[in-house]
Structure 1
């Protein structure tokens, strides 16, 4: 970078640095290290802990422009703290609701907007009034924090005491100085007299009555005059609604006011002289002047009242005085204010300039290192014959960032392993949680799959496919970085007696339909026709809402535009899920995945593994057992006992019927995934009779334990060559 461009760079850098980021979108969640700042910098929204020793964290709004300790004005999850703030994330979900969750996917706090899911996409913005609003693209606000106050009323906030004679909003005090949870004291309208008075409550017992409303629009309160504006309270009664609004004004005069106490009475002064007395006294905050026409006992019929300090206990009354407020707008006040503002700005600019120099130095070094590693990656992929010269954009993650995210691949972060290698949970800078798949060093088996997966999955975008966030090659390390799914894989629930109760029939059917839609996307709706070739329960991952996502594309193959079938001598996959034409002859097509889906469907319905022949007496495996029950009219006996009592029998039987159509021996007899989805979702659709499946992938039916261990040994990425029978 030329030295002549550094001043210009500083200006661009400082302008971008100083501009506040006040919006939250679907694509940009808020994590523990993020903060929204309102457009003018008055308020900030983020995560905070009341004390440095407190392990409880909250999402809140505070004054950003005030020095000293934070003044918190709103707390979202005040009664449901987060134990570790690095795990907290605030998102806008597909239903246009704000959702605060922890690392386990548990919802800590959320809004309820009742917007139709997927109908539109909202965004959230922190306004300069301290109001956090959820807004539709057409500008309509569907939720705002001002409607859900905690313990603070802000200027411009409409605090509704009652609506149609019912108490609506209530301020609830913090339990303690360092504890924002709901305390004993609260402030609200009186249910007995919702339009007349407000009370302070100690739990459910009235503690202090704050007076009866006298019908005047400006109520008693405190006016602060140490700034260039004043704060006052307005009471509004529309008939149905009774509410307060606090506002800030720069008007010097308030008519018909009950004047404050503690005034100085100055005699024999005209109005102009009274105003001059206040203007020449730096401590003067207000003055009032009125004729006492009925005051015959006083020799001086006029009066000049002057106040210093805060104005306490004022209000609007009939025939009151004109109260003139002195604001901080004199030349001296402005000069002092300008100095107070200018000096911090200069100091800030000098500090930012130093930061910019350090940033440039580190950034250029980091960029140079990343370019070197990126070129190495591109060279690595250009030698791949498996990819057929496919071009793709590689989302690159620095190896040092991966080491930091996984704590140097600590065993405590290990969440899975397979033929490819190991999978670690990681937390990237900014708090984003990821799953890092690490290729075993020296594994020739996984190299091709690694290249294949990067090219394929980087081109695929579907809610039922796992999302690749990045990849990395560093010396002999090869890594893939995925979105982290806390519920792990389907088999962890389906085949675990202690966990399978989580999968009620509604959830199982949701998973079945999600997998089928993901396969349809691969086969038909994506820009490429892709055969997965290793569909099984361990390759179905589940997000926090139990939405299934197909993973592990290491063995997937791309079909050309006019290609329907391919052959290979390198048969890969897992016994039990392979179609007969693929296992015995190496031929594969979209119908090979249909067969695997049928097996998967039987496992989800029954809760049994395809290889669990020793659990089914007198049968070689799950398919043979299912067929016998189907022929005998007893297919309902296949259903997992944990869901049998609560599932709709017609829907379950339809799933079994579709599964038997999918596992037919001849590929041409099996339906396409588009037909599978139609048959699953349309209960009145006629289904053809399935043909008896003769082929059984686990051929050694005499020894159940042997077949079980055979399947497990080939779990993950499995490579073998089989001979036809």
Structure 2
């Protein structure tokens, strides 16, 4: 009976303690919050309490999400003054001030928020995550944590400037993931007449937003910007209260928008900056533009009317010196006849020295206003909330002008009369050239097709050419291609000059060429000594000529003269993926975001081949050297010489002629000649792991191990150390969860049993969706490697028709 009473009493005290902890959202005079206790907002959104990071014994007072299982701190009181041990406590002292002490004797105050003199105050944690100090009588807020943000911006928090008090409201990063002390990075509003936010490292700017007025980018939240006499600030409110969202500056210097995904129980990055090479502030210096189009060509260029300030540094890809006016010494910009040259669709220059001329003005009047002021270097017309169209003029340096992928604004740059005339001449020439570019290819293509087809019908030029011509004529109704003369291609490639050679493969060489209309092409020339290549050539023409997809290389035409059939492709300036991925210098251009875009692009291209095209096509030779990259690093699948066409309902096929590249062929295809869509899935999985690791599967050599790259990834995955395989050149500048997802998908694709591998539709869905459930992979094929003196080879296994008793002949061709 006594035991029962004691139990009931204990349960009562436990219930009382739980209730007190759950519903205590305020701290009143002489109340304390000890280490281990919590203050929780009314709707349980946020909690205030003590916490530690990593294995440290240091304790901090902070605010975190109470409903999120993963403790995520959004504000820290004593970020630079940790308490050693659990002796700290928080209380309202006799003066009404909120004080954090580092010891129970109240002799070591660590942090405080002061109440107004002569008043009593109490502290309250609001459901917005704002800790406020309120006067008990008037209920007026005398202090709030939202006025002292750390690394996180919550909904309802202001970032900007209080002009009355001079107080800046800005974010500062943590020093490291385990140290909330003030770090190197900050995110501040620059309150000029056209405000904009900057990311700083110390005092140096390294990224900026567009200038106000801002265009809403997302539907996650509603942004508001207030610019009045007393204050200027930015604030956001969520459109859907069920979405848990925060904006933060992390300790590595990235500004991020992250959301909590309840189904996955983790935070996921929604957006981050800076990401691209032209995002870095002032990368190309003053009076320049930055355009990240062709990774082999320098992204910096001078604005109209300007020229390089330091050609040597520019050549060394250091554009920080920028550009200077061409007429700096010879003429004044205010000479008669001057004008403006339009620069299309850019992120407008840094607006620190820009002004609003008028909030409602036509472009002609804006230009007139700029022209009247000799210090005006450029102008633009922008749309502003509640304003029809506004005129902005720049006075001083034009800094950080970037071509933007989104539809931005047009900038009109002031130039002298000579530059204006030169620009007009170029525009006229470009227009005339454009007309010729349209007319000449049309006339040439028509005449060439008629002449070559007539030639094929009337004459024969050797057995091989006749066979090819018949094959192409037989499928000609479905293939829309140009037929080129050998003389045209010889002229285009400078007689197939070695200087024009782009590379060499198993069936011949590839040359860069330029047609008379200026179009750049890549010519694949079939080797005379390739006895097996003629079938692959014809197959490639028939297959790829019927396909159109942004992730497949475009076949322009072919040539069947001279005994050496040739394929003519669109020219892709960045060549193949392997030339970047496995090169110690060029791999630096492949940041994680670029690699992920390439992975998704390849997957979508294969999905098109397997499911969405007019034909069902199995590529059979997918590898990084057969993935070409255009100027924007968009991946394009190439080399369809080994492709096999399936019927729409056909699942698999068998062949006695096994063709492919060591390290990329699936086990069932290499051993038994069984071909299916899962053969390509296996090859894709190998490529995916190569892109993540930056290492070749068939040249992988882990010290003191017989594991292949696939085997090593599998071992690390089983030991939950998979991130150790990530390419060291990324320097941890990647999203761990996204990388782990890619590794998991790669392992699913290289599973030994073809039935266990996902379809490419499932692969694309898993890559594109943050909500997709991804199964656990089973043991992959080819875990162990065999000794091979030349592992990067193209192999062909053929039936031996001699009297050898049913053996096989293995032919090995060097892979270029």
Aligned partners of 1:720, 1:404: CA distance in 2, in Å?
A: 38
Matches within 5 A, 1:189-208: 189=369, 198-200=372-374
Compared CA separation, residues 407 and 645, structure 1 to 2 (3 A) = same
1:394 Cα deviation after fit: 3.7
Equivalent residue, structure 2, for 1:458: 545
For the residues of structure 2 that align with 1:693 and 1:605, how far apart are their CA atoms?
17
* Count of residue correspondences: 409
Deviation at 1:429, TM superposition (A): 1.1
* Post-superposition offset of 1:403: 1.1
Greater C-alpha Rg: 1
CA contact under 8 A between 1:387 and 1:451: conserved in structure 2?
no
Query: RMSD of aligned C-alpha atoms?
Result: 4.4
Aligned to 1:498: 585
Are 2:734 and 1:647 equivalent residues in the alignment?
A: yes
Q: Which residue of 2 aligns with 1:675?
A: 762
Aligned with 1:611: secondary structure? helix
Q: Is the 8 A contact 2:602 2:637 kept in 1?
A: yes
Whether 1:618 and 2:705 are equivalent positions in the alignment is yes
- Measured in 1, the distance between the counterparts of 2:748 and 2:337 equals 58
Which of 779, 789, 796 aligns to 1:719? It is 796
1:151 and 2:345 are equivalent in the alignment:
no
Contact 1:531 1:593 (C-alpha < 8 Å) held by counterparts: yes
- Contact residue 699 and residue 791 of structure 2 kept, 8 A: no
CA contact (8 A) 1:661 1:670 kept: yes
Cα deviation digits, residues 105-157 of structure 1 (max 9, x gap): 9586999xxxxxxxxxxxxxxxxxxxxxxxxxxxxxxxxxxxxx993489xxx
8 Å contact from structure 1 (residues 536, 577) kept in 2? yes
Deviations 1:228-282 (A, max 9, x none): xxxxxxxxxx998899xxxxxxxxxxxxxxxxxxxxxxxxxxxxxxxxxxxxxxx
Aligned to 1:114: none
Cα shift readout 1:20-76 (whole Å, capped 9, x = no counterpart)? xxxxxxxxxxxxxxxxxxxxxxxxxxxxxxxxxxxxxxxxxxxxxxxxxxxxxxxxx
1:396 to partner: Cα distance: 1.2
Answer whether contact 2:711 2:782 (CA < 8 A) is retained: no
Change (3 A) 1:523 1:387: farther
Q: In structure 2, what is the Cα distance between the partners aligned to 1:424 and 1:603? A: 27
Q: Note the C-alpha offset of 1:444.
A: 1.3
Distance 1:664 1:241 in 2: 61
Tell me what 1:661 maps to. 748
Structure 1 residues without counterparts, runs of 5 or longer: 1-78, 82-97, 112-148, 155-160, 172-186, 191-196, 205-237, 244-360
> What 5-or-longer segments of structure 2 have no aligned partner?
1-286, 305-335, 342-354, 379-387, 394-442, 800-806, 809-816
Instruction: Answer yes or no: is the 8 Å Cα contact 1:100–1:110 preserved in 2.
Output: no
User: For residues 513 and 239 of structure 1, do their structure 2 counterparts lie closer, same or farther at Cα, with a shift above 3 Å needed?
Assistant: closer
Which fold has the larger relative contact order, with Cα–Cα distance below 8 Å and residues 6 or more apart in sequence? 1
Q: Are the counterparts in 1 of residues 665 and 683 from structure 2 also a CA contact under 8 Å?
A: yes
Q: Does 1:710 align with 2:791?
A: yes
Q: Is the 8 A contact 1:491 1:538 kept in 2?
A: yes
Q: Where does residue 423 of structure 1 map in the other structure? A: 510
Matches within 5 A, 1:282-321: none
User: Is 1:521 paired with 2:603?
Assistant: no
How far residue 381 of structure 1 moved from its aligned partner, in angstroms, is 3.4
- Paired residue for 2:527? 440
In 2, distance between residues paired with 1:523 and 1:630? Answer: 29
State the distance in 1 between where 2:791 and 2:292 align.
44
Contact 2:293–2:632, Cα closer than 8 Å, also in 1:
no
Q: CA deviation at 1:679?
A: 1.2
What's the CA shift for 1:388?
9.0
Q: Note the C-alpha offset of 1:677.
A: 1.0
Distance 1:461 1:170, change over 3 A: same
Distance (Å, rounded) in 1 between the aligned partners of 2:519 and 2:389: 50
Q: Distance in 2 between matches of 1:620 and 1:586?
A: 25
C-alpha separation in 1, matches of 2:337 and 2:704? 63
Maintained 8 Å contact 2:448/2:484: no
Quick one: structure 1 residues 496 and 432, their matched pair in 2 at CA, closer, same or farther if it must change by over 3 Å?
Answer: same
8 A contact 1:577–1:595 mirrored in 2: yes
Within the candidate set 542, 553, 576, 2:629 is matched to: 542
Q: Is the 8 A contact 1:571 1:719 kept in 2?
A: yes
- 1:370 equivalent to 2:452? Answer yes
Kindly tell me: are residues 365 and 591 of structure 1, through their superposed partners in 2, closer, same or farther at Cα, counting changes over 3 Å?
Answer: closer
1:432/1:363 CA distance change after superposition, 3 Å: closer
Q: SS where residue 566 of structure 1 aligns?
A: strand
TM-score (norm 2): 0.45
1:525–1:164: structure 2 CA closer, same or farther, 3 Å change rule?
same
Q: Does 1:607 pair with 2:700?
A: no
- Establish whether residue 594 from structure 1 lines up as the match of residue 768 from structure 2: no
Q: How does 1:138-537 map to 2 (within 5 A)?
A: 151-152=338-339, 163-164=357-358, 189=369, 198-200=372-374, 369-375=451-457, 379-381=466-468, 383-384=470-471, 392-537=479-624
Q: What SS class does the counterpart of residue 470 from structure 1 fall into?
A: strand
